[in-house]
Amino acid sequence: MTTVREKENKPISRNKLLGIAGLGWMFDAMDVGILSFVIVALANEWALTPGQMGWIGSVNSIGMAVGALVFGIFADRVGRKHIFIVTLVLFSVASGLSAFSASLAIFLIFRFFVGMGLGGELPVASTLVSESVEAKERGRVVVLLESFWAAGWLIAAIISYFVIPEYGWRVALIITALPALYAIYLRLNLPDSPQFTAKRVRERTYGQNIKAVWSKAYAKPTLMLWILWFTVVFSYYGMFLWLPSVMVMKGFTLIKSFEYVLIMTFAQLPGYFTAAWLIEKAGRKFVLVTYLLGTAASAYVFGNADTTMLLIVSGAFLSFFNLGAWGALYAYTPEQYPSVIRATGAGMAAAVGRIGGILGPLLVGTLVARGYDIGWVFSIFCIAIVIGVLAVVLLGKETKQLELE
């Protein structure tokens, strides 16, 4: 008879691992995607100011920063798999409960815990997958893992388009609680990382792991990652959480704005798939630099678009390039560290990025409330992205097909 321990350590095929981890990733994206549409609905129902709308996105990122740091550190001590499951349950339950919020304050509290689960799950899942596949296909597999984010966003856009106008935002959020049931399946069928189980990492303290991330050997890649994560997350959450709201500001109805964002979201899939193809051929740095520069150019055009067609086309390119860059980022980050501090390093970088995710939505809300043109606001995100590109070019090393330590 096979014991639970033997089942946990039994090897799993690459495709099965990708499917299991990817579905968890998809549920994350579904929650974040729905939030961008819920913000618009809440603004109408609760008469929210632009500043209050910005806080909804930012408190989510505050939770993500805390979750990425805390759960990333724990994952190097207790295992990637267990933290993956805990974070999945946390964000699912909190998201479902947020549907019953009677005020903005209560809603923000629940969104903090949703963010904790989201922030902890993403770097831990990418670390687990990175350590479980061969070097020659590691980058491609992690980018394909990220492609589940596009599927989650598409589901969120479809749910929002059909559910929110007809049944309200509360029903849409209740739907996001369903992934909690999937965590039971994960607990029984997902083995932990072979690199984690092969090392006696429990002999190391949390303090040693944190200190090692900034040791002489890893200070340069850590600095590069922190700059890159901050600029990418700052621009992503500042732009994408506000996409439906920006469409409304440009004169479209609520339903029409949802429809156009749904169209833009479809462009995420080819963005991921082209990045997955290029990352093992041209390298991580090439994909990051190319797709981030494409993001900056698309963001500038989108912010200044004055026709419907230009708005949709530039928004589609924005989705294409930005999400392709995200895939490369998640492939690149775990490759900077050895297995004993890999989740800690990835979690700390993601936590710094989430600080940018706090500031991005708040910046948009504040500047819009003061009457600044949305094109000028999006130009700020273009500059931030270029700074991230410079960090990769000047401080980053190529890790294509490099064997992990």
pLDDT tens digits along 263-310: 887 888 899 899 999 998 999 999 999 999 999 999 999 888 888 888
In a domain, 364, yes or no: yes
pLDDT tens digits along 20-39: 888 878 888 888 788 878 88
pLDDT value at position 284? 92
pLDDT value at position 3? 47
In a domain, 189, yes or no: yes
pLDDT value at position 70? 92
Domain of 226, in residue numbers:
13-193+210-395
Contact status, residue 365 vs residue 54, Cβ threshold 8 Å = yes
In a domain, 132, yes or no: yes
pLDDT value at position 194? 67
Packing angle between helix 135-162 and helix 104-130, nearest 10 degrees?
150
More confident residue, 218 or 156: 218
In a domain, 199, yes or no: no
Packing angle between helix 14-46 and helix 80-98, nearest 10 degrees?
20
Q: Which of 203, 27, 172 is nearest to 96 (CA)?
A: 172
pLDDT value at position 234? 94
Calculate mean pLDDT across residues 198-226: 84
In a domain, 200, yes or no: no
pLDDT at 222 over 50: yes
- CA distance readout (Å), 129 to 81, 110, 146: 10, 29, 11
In a domain, 204, yes or no: no
pLDDT value at position 201? 53
In a domain, 2, yes or no: no
In a domain, 8, yes or no: no
> What's the whole-number average pLDDT of the chain?
85
pLDDT value at position 278? 93
More confident residue, 188 or 260: 260
pLDDT value at position 336? 93
DSSP 8-state symbol, 397: -
Residues 6+ apart with CB under 8 A from 364: 50, 54, 238, 242, 377
Query: Counting Cβ atoms within 10 Å, is residue 158 exposed (0-12), middle (13-18) or buried (19+)?
Result: middle
Instruction: Work out the percent of the chain whose per-residue pLDDT is above 90.
Output: 33
The CATH number for 248's domain is 1.20.1250.20
Calculate mean pLDDT across residues 177-202: 66
pLDDT tens digits along 29-74: 888 788 878 888 898 889 888 878 878 878 888 898 999 999 988 8
pLDDT value at position 259? 79
Banded pLDDT at 104 (limits 50, 70, 90): very high
Calculate mean pLDDT across residues 117-127: 86
pLDDT value at position 1? 44
pTM (2 d.p.)? 0.81
Q: Please count the structural domains in the chain.
A: 1
Alpha carbon distance 112, 236 (integer Å): 18
